[in-house]
Amino acid sequence: MLKLGLIGKGISLSQSARLHVLLGRMCGIDVTYDYLDSEKIAGFDLIGQLAACAKAGYAGVNVTHPYKTEARKLIQRRKRLPEALGAVNTVVFREDGWRGDNTDYVGFMRGYRGQFGDQAPGTVLQMGAGGVGLATAFGLHGLGAERILIHDKDADRGHTLVATLKAGGANVAFVTEPDLSDAIRDADGLINCTPVGMNQYPGSPIDAALLGGQKWAFDAVYTPVETSFLHSARKAGLSVMTGFELFFFQGIEAFEVFSGAQIDGDAARIEYFNAYPEALTG
């Protein structure tokens, strides 16, 4: 039995449980995956909840909004993470201590390579500097992006991400609102890491009229899978990567960390869509 869970706030709609249970079934492992919602736990504090999970026999837990940064401060990072990447979304409990990982970071890179192969990211304009934006931006740096341009309506948050990336050695700059249209037109790749495009926040963060000269686009939103942004990007001739790829590969990476198993991504994809065909459309 592999006991896993997710710690976060307002996580009732998460699809992580069904992915981890399915991956366990593929490996012949019985998996339980609990939702540990801070809104439903009296007197919640992160370190106390992690300690309780370790004592209760959890192999590990995923950590999501708004606790990824706090978790990074509490947990020793795994060596594969950049030192400057100040967030973890996966905690593994071992006898020699707790280890933190960020499978959004490695999952994004795995998804990118699966979708675009060895194509270099080039110059990339990323909308959004929140938690997932932190991971994808470091992923872009890991993939060898020539230049990373960050825009966020919260300029302070955007500048903070830029400073963090610079500390990690990236060629990065913040893009102000007046310069945004030109930056979008001149980019090789476009990324949406804002909530715009989710079922509850319809629309697109990028004007369709600005699309056409770029090479590729990625939307971190996966409910729905085919967002307005990606629909416009496809129509304009860009190659696209959906948010499902990030969800899928960060989950596989986390399960591999938890279990020590190696997952065949192609086989897991077939199994997942056979079990949950609605995931194709979100």
Phi, then psi, of 146 in degrees rounded to 5: -65, -40
The beta strand positions in 17-111, using DSSP E, are 31-37, 60-63, 76-77, 90-94, 97-101
Considering 58, 67, 105, 222, which one is annotated as catalytic? Answer: 67
- How many Cβ atoms from other residues are within 10 Å of residue 146's Cβ? 12
Q: How far is CA 50 from the centre of its chain?
A: 21
Are the C-beta atoms of 109 and 142 separated by less than 8 Å? yes
Helix (H) or strand (E) holding 239: strand 239-241
Spatial distance between the Cα atoms of 202 and 224, rounded to a whole number of angstroms? 10
Question: Which residue, 246, 169, 250, is CA-closest to 6?
Answer: 250
Q: Is 67 a catalytic residue?
A: yes
Spatial distance between the Cα atoms of 219 and 192, rounded to a whole number of angstroms? 5
Phi, then psi, of 2 in degrees rounded to 5: -110, 115
Spatial distance between the Cα atoms of 118 and 134, rounded to a whole number of angstroms? 22
Greatest CA span in the chain, whole angstroms? 55
Spatial distance between the Cα atoms of 59 and 4, rounded to a whole number of angstroms? 6
Are the C-beta atoms of 90 and 102 separated by less than 8 Å? yes
The C-alpha R_g of the chain, in whole angstroms, comes to: 18
Please give the span between the terminal C-alpha atoms of the chain, in angstroms, as a whole number. 30
Q: Which residues are catalytic?
A: 67
